[in-house]
Amino acid sequence: MTEPEEAEHGGAEIVLIRHAPALDGGCMAGRRDVPCAPVDPGVAAALRAAVGPARVIASPARRCMETAAALFGRCETDPRLWEQDFGLWEGIAYADVPDLGALSAEALARHCPPGGESFTTLIDRVAPAFAEWSGRVAVVAHAGTVRAALALATGSPGGALAFQVAPLSLTRVLRAPGGWAVIEVNRRFG
């Protein structure tokens, strides 16, 4: 069976798009509801063409809603798709994020910022959403959400943290009755 046929028979092709660059002032955005930069119309057209017909679901974060509107003009929202909660690190400059020292990838995935959530908690939060969907679904969300899908597909939360997820990039995974498959990661447009 082809990938779309597998998705139609009890699975889902999940097309993940990271939001446009966040206007975060160089600070951790996580759960802060910041806007995004405008989406170039040529990039929007190329992304739309790459996604094709799909149900569109976005994180309710402003930057995701603005990106979805620029790309598709419409979307549903799902609060489970929010970015990782970085707790007390929210709003601090990227350069000021505390150095955690030498941690394995799996230990980093389990690390919980003070007052926030770990990456493995994020995976647990989004997994039921990914399990509910069928057919082709376009998801406009965050780098953490994209990496959570990759963690589910690869079975490695720590390994998923190694993936680059650029703004306005496309990542596709397939959830089929027999398991997950990664189709492509971090495809850029423009």
CA 116, CA 112: separation in Å to the nearest integer? 6
The pTM for the full model equals 0.92
Residues near 26 by Cβ (< 8 Å), separated by ≥ 6? 93, 94
What mean pLDDT comes out for the span 16-45? 96
Domains held by the chain: number? 1
- Model confidence pLDDT, tens digit, residues 43-66: 999 999 999 999 999 999 999 999
Complete DSSP assignment for 27-80 = B--TTS---BPPPPHHHHHHHHHHH-S-EEEE-SSHHHHHHHHHHHS--EE-GG
**Sign for the pseudo-dihedral over CA of 160, 163, 164, 170:** negative
CATH code for the domain of 172: 3.40.50.1240
Cβ atoms of residues 175 and 14 within 8 Å: yes
Cβ atoms of residues 17 and 187 within 8 Å: no
Q: Which residues does residue 182 pair with via DSSP β-bridges, in sequence order?
A: 173
Percent of the chain scoring above 90 in pLDDT: 88
Task: Name the residue with higher pLDDT: 100 or 173.
Answer: 173
**Sign for the pseudo-dihedral over CA of 179, 180, 183, 189:** positive
CA 43, CA 134: separation in Å to the nearest integer? 27
Q: Which domain holds residue 156?
A: 3-187
- What pLDDT does residue 111 have? 94
